[in-house]
Chains A and B, each alone.
Chain A
Amino acid sequence: QKEVEQNSGPLSVPEGAIASLNCTYSDRVSQSFFWYRQYSGKSPELIMSIYSNGDKEDGRFTAQLNKASQYVSLLIRDSQPSDSATYLCAGPSNQAGTALIFGKGTTLSVSS
């Protein structure tokens, strides 16, 4: 059974700081990972996808994948109160990657 682990938090950072969210997974074969943001009472929203080792940047967000360490992270630069949400990490639950397994999420709180 594949697993995706996240620290549930809450992670609290002041406005303008860098928020670092981490995720570990149990399978060395997994190729692709996803970060979702979920506001309270809303559905998950895809914010980053990463398919290869290294960093991927999109605006204030940077996803990092280290396959050897089975570790995925999401950095949010210049954190804003509007970034306050639960962040879900997801990886493939089968070989083909057609289904995902989600971590339980990390709650981020950005204070102004």
Chain B
Amino acid sequence: DAGITQSPRHKVTETGTPVTLRCHQTENHRYMYWYRQDPGHGLRLIHYSYGVKDTDKGEVSDGYSVSRSKTEDFLLTLESATSSQTSVYFCAISRGVGHSYEQYFGPGTRLTVT
């Protein structure tokens, strides 16, 4: 998985609780991304980062926040989880050199909000 780990791999939580997912890379890539994948919707970008403390919103950012205090770590936080945030969450990384923005994905986190 291109030196990317995600934790936890599975989580069940209750509505209204905060949840933080972690993505860790050993590739020293500049760009990091958080996606969610749902049946019928495909992969949708939540937020991405183009450097330490530099982040931008994606297509479905409402209800999510991110932080990147180190090159290797990108955190996704659900401040108050809702059932609509039940999904599989993927982290991805990209070297971002020249015109090559190929993205490589981590193993995913399956989150269930009850």
A and B from one complex: yes
Which residues of A come within 8 Å of B, CB atoms?
31-32, 34, 36, 42-46, 49, 51, 88, 90, 92-93, 97-105
Assess whether A32 is in contact with B101, with CB atoms less than 8 Å apart: yes
A-B contact count (CB 8 A): 57
Assess whether A43 is in contact with B31, with CB atoms less than 8 Å apart: no
Closest CB pairs A-B (n = 7): A104-B42, A102-B43, A43-B105, A97-B101, A44-B105, A43-B108, A102-B42
CB distance from A70 to the nearest CB of B (A): 19
Tell me which residues across on chain A come within 8 A of B94, comparing CB atoms.
Answer: 98
Interface SS majority for chain A: loop
Assess whether B102 is in contact with A34, with CB atoms less than 8 Å apart: yes
* Interface size grouping (class) on chain B: 20 to 34
B48 at the interface (CB under 8 A from A): yes
Assess whether B33 is in contact with A99, with CB atoms less than 8 Å apart: yes
CB distance from B43 to the nearest CB of A (A): 4
